[in-house]
Structure 1
């Protein structure tokens, strides 16, 4: 058995242990988390009842981005498609986090897409991440990205992050809040670029250790979710590849405690002196921890081809 297979088997075992352990504890879900989960489940229910197109159009923000596989405006994309898109989509949120001012949040969990071709039914499974924005009264879908993996035996119990860990709030005066938000986005953009540059230059082990949150959720194609810093470091440090990343977008909630960055990249694998390169889209969700530093709480890389 190769080292890579041993690592993958170990991570899969840790994933199941984490799931089973979390199921031993119950949480009373607060309203601010319940609201974003309700919106996510509302989308899933509509996808089953009225189809994928209508479901997406009912929740997408006017600037919302989906990946097909390149990033495109979601509303423009779905408006060009026929109403009767084949296949059914189901998904179940298992984790959520919301900013202190309750204007930015994300949900993630397993999905199944069931399709039929010439009478043959196929089911594609994986993990999705949705970024939600609440500018008015309703949560709207700002970004949606997913990876593929084998179907899991069961759905983990839902958990959520406590958004009040850092205690930051939006400034009362609008012009101050806007300036603080702008400054925070510049800092997070520089932080993401620093992270990208360090990884690209091969300083992977120390960079992962410094930037990953203890509660990191790592999502990679054809892998079950990797939960927690120790399993994530084990997986990432076992990858003998070359990385190249480029930041394209950053956003931070007005409360300056939760944000996300997106971009593109390439992963080059060298096997028997032969290089194989795969282009990817990345999404990183960042939370400002009690130390005042931005840390990555979710990292997903999905194939861009």
Structure 2
């Protein structure tokens, strides 16, 4: 009986922590965007990047702080806002994705470029949200998003934390994709998922997901570069290189551990 009460208390505590932290995660993303608008893109990225955070240049994952320190401050307004957000049961790892826009000089200028960003965040030792990987897609239609959808599928803690099982799922997915992409996504895609592709709004509904998967070239070759996992072992990510027709791009997958194993929560593929 005491063990049951303790488990119930632990689960309730995790739920409260997760719910509180997803609010702060969403606010961190909004603050990040606001800082970009009020200051500049370079200053915003340097402020919110984790020391080990990664951005992508010419298809290569590179240290974000080192990369942005080399860049010059340029004119233009890069703005964005979260559309979807999810956080681990431990409340230390989460992601957001949403539309971004670029205006050449001021916030009143016409939008000349738009897309969909995806960012994975973690709490640093001081309890501040810092992002560890950021990957966007381009040329999306106009998205009229006013509210953030908080994705809440599972709140479970798995012990011991098993990053190897996440990587095993990623490699199994890649193997299946190389043989039959439809079967790969059918096997590993969560029922609650977001797929981001160039020139398309995020796919979340069954018909949208089917179209997105159908249009994803079966010839893409994925190469794993790095991965990470939450303190509760229920949410993790993998990013790497996507090769298609001699073009080197990148991908980012967020995995969620569900009752039947690891499933894809968010899938961003550039090609």
Q: 1:143 maps to which residue?
A: 133
The yes-or-no answer on 1:286 pairing with 2:269 is: no
Instruction: Point out where structure 2 has 5 or more consecutive residues left out of the alignment.
Output: 1-17
1:195 is aligned, of 170, 173, 190, to 173
- CA separation in 2, counterparts of 1:234 and 1:151? 16
Q: 1:86 maps to which residue?
A: 75
- CA separation in 2, counterparts of 1:81 and 1:279? 22
- CA separation in 2, counterparts of 1:52 and 1:234? 34
Matches within 5 A, 1:82-121: 82=72, 84-115=73-104
> What do the CA deviations read for 1:254-298 (whole angstroms, capped 9, x no partner)?
201000011112234xxxxxxxx433201000001133x000010
Larger Rg: 1
Per the alignment, do residues 156 and 263 of structure 1 end up closer, same or farther by CA in structure 2, a change over 3 Å counting? same
Aligned residue-pair number: 249
Following superposition, the deviation at residue 121 of structure 1 comes to: 6.7
Q: 1:295 maps to which residue?
A: 263
Q: 1:265 maps to which residue?
A: 242
Per the alignment, do residues 103 and 240 of structure 1 end up closer, same or farther by CA in structure 2, a change over 3 Å counting? closer
> What do the CA deviations read for 1:8-30 (whole angstroms, capped 9, x no partner)?
xxxxxxxxxxxxxxxxxxxxx94
Per the alignment, do residues 192 and 86 of structure 1 end up closer, same or farther by CA in structure 2, a change over 3 Å counting? same
Q: Secondary structure at the match of 1:296?
A: strand
8 Å contact 1:108–1:129 — kept in the other structure? yes
- CA separation in 2, counterparts of 1:30 and 1:80? 37
- CA separation in 2, counterparts of 1:251 and 1:166? 18
What's the TM-score, normalizing by structure 1?
A: 0.76
8 Å contact 2:220–2:242 — kept in the other structure? yes
Q: Which runs of 4+ in 1 moved over 6 A?
A: none
Following superposition, the deviation at residue 38 of structure 1 comes to: 0.9
Q: Secondary structure at the match of 1:47?
A: helix
1:226 is aligned, of 183, 191, 203, to 203
Q: Secondary structure at the match of 1:57?
A: helix
Per the alignment, do residues 63 and 187 of structure 1 end up closer, same or farther by CA in structure 2, a change over 3 Å counting? same
- CA separation in 2, counterparts of 1:166 and 1:210? 22
> What do the CA deviations read for 1:186-212 (whole angstroms, capped 9, x no partner)?
111111011111112x22222111100
- CA separation in 2, counterparts of 1:198 and 1:287? 19
> What do the CA deviations read for 1:41-87 (whole angstroms, capped 9, x no partner)?
111111111111111111111010011343211111111223x3221
2:228 is aligned, of 251, 254, 279, to 251
- CA separation in 2, counterparts of 1:298 and 1:228? 13
**Cα RMSD (Å) of the superposition?**
2.1
Following superposition, the deviation at residue 150 of structure 1 comes to: 3.3
Matches within 5 A, 1:35-46: 35-46=24-35
8 Å contact 2:137–2:196 — kept in the other structure? yes
